[in-house]
Structure 1
């Protein structure tokens, strides 16, 4: 469904991604793991074309993407839920959700998707007229995911959904991510909580200094001694 092949990305003179190759199959959850600065968020920004690679190929549903714009990426069904939530704090919950569907014309399906978001996140329905900036960190993360879902993604890019969230809510959010996937949305997940990411994903890539250091089925990587030493505290 989505394929990066030998992608090189620079920040000025800093070589951030050094020839990474990643594949995400339709209907799967794929996780990108690694320490801070490994290149995980850079990979998502590259897929969204917020960053343009100097070298490599990028295909989505067999269509070349590198000559397209970031708005073309959204129209293709690649929706990015960024690190740090980035909700619009002065807008209400409902206004934030509606902003997620701004490029869509299918009004009836938008209503259906809004109901589905409220099914996933009942707290958002309860707080739909509340300003987003007054929500808790966990609720803002729910809103950020809900807003991304309102874009009707074929593939959802999730960047650190557990960051800064109370542990009791992390499990809940990961359960919802699994549910979203089970209903047909492909997910590419960047996550520092390696235990949780490996638990819910089908396949994982471990990035290190801009390279893919390890990859494989998540159930196998959980038992890999090197992965345990570096990322699971084993």
Structure 2
């Protein structure tokens, strides 16, 4: 179980996260919702140790992770698939996927992991020797998720996986996220498409101005009038 307790993050004088508490139980999808600038990506970066936490507790199965480096967090099994994909455009699909395994010692299992990624994203197998920068936006998102999966995560952090994608691709990506979860992966999903996020997640948090203002079982949060008005476009 991954837990954030009273997490505070500052960017200089800006208080970006103000006492955030989030729990990601084993094998569950948890969605983190909010407007632009609410602090969603900051929360993921804090978990990944890409930015410092100024106060609070951060634990995985009761082990304190606040003093761990970003590379140690990856080795523990918490892997971040960042916003805007961040693939290596001059590397091939195969090379991008291989980069996801850099920390792993179980070299003999890579073939199985490649096949799993290709079962989710058959198009990547067809473009194995194509440079990442020549892929479509949807294919780059598939590659970014595939690269993260090659790290064999126990907790997968997904930051805006639907960003910039056509509606038909959004449905495909979310279907695959659900399939990944069905194999036992825990997922923290940051997503502006609140309707889609809550349709596949078990639990949801709403983040506003660096604070959690609402949380609960996703289908209950989806029926909350405030959430309907602010994030689902209905009253």
- In structure 2, list runs of 5 or more residues that go unmatched: none
Paired with 2:105 and 2:205, the residues of 1 have a C-alpha distance of: 36
The answer on 1:172 being equivalent to 2:172 is: yes
Q: Which runs of 5+ in 1 are unaligned?
A: none
How far the C-alpha of 1:72 sits from its partner, in A, is 0.7
C-alpha separation between the residues in 1 aligned to 2:108 and 2:7? 39
- The range that moved more, 100-109 or 81-90, is 100-109
What displacement does 1:110 show?
1.3
3-state SS in 1 of match to 2:84: coil
Structure 1 partner of 2:72? 72
Runs of 4+ in 1 over 2 A off after TM superposition: none
Does 1:120 find its partner at 2:120? yes
> Deviation at 1:131?
0.3
Partner residue of 1:62? 62
Deviation at 1:167, TM superposition (A): 1.1
Aligned residue pairs: how many?
234
**Using the alignment, how far apart are the partners of 2:68 and 2:179 within structure 1?**
31
In structure 1, C-alpha distance between the alignment counterparts of 2:64 and 2:213, rounded to whole Å = 26
* Deviation of the 1:107 alpha carbon: 2.1
For residues 68 and 40 of structure 1, what CA distance do their matches in structure 2 show?
A: 21
2:111 and 2:60 map into 1 onto residues whose CA distance is 27
Return the offset for 1:24: 0.5
Aligned residue in 2 for 1:137: 137
CA separation in 2, counterparts of 1:118 and 1:3?
A: 31
TM-score (norm 1): 0.99
Partner of 1:230: 230
**TM-score under structure 2 normalisation?**
0.99
Q: CA RMSD in A?
A: 0.5
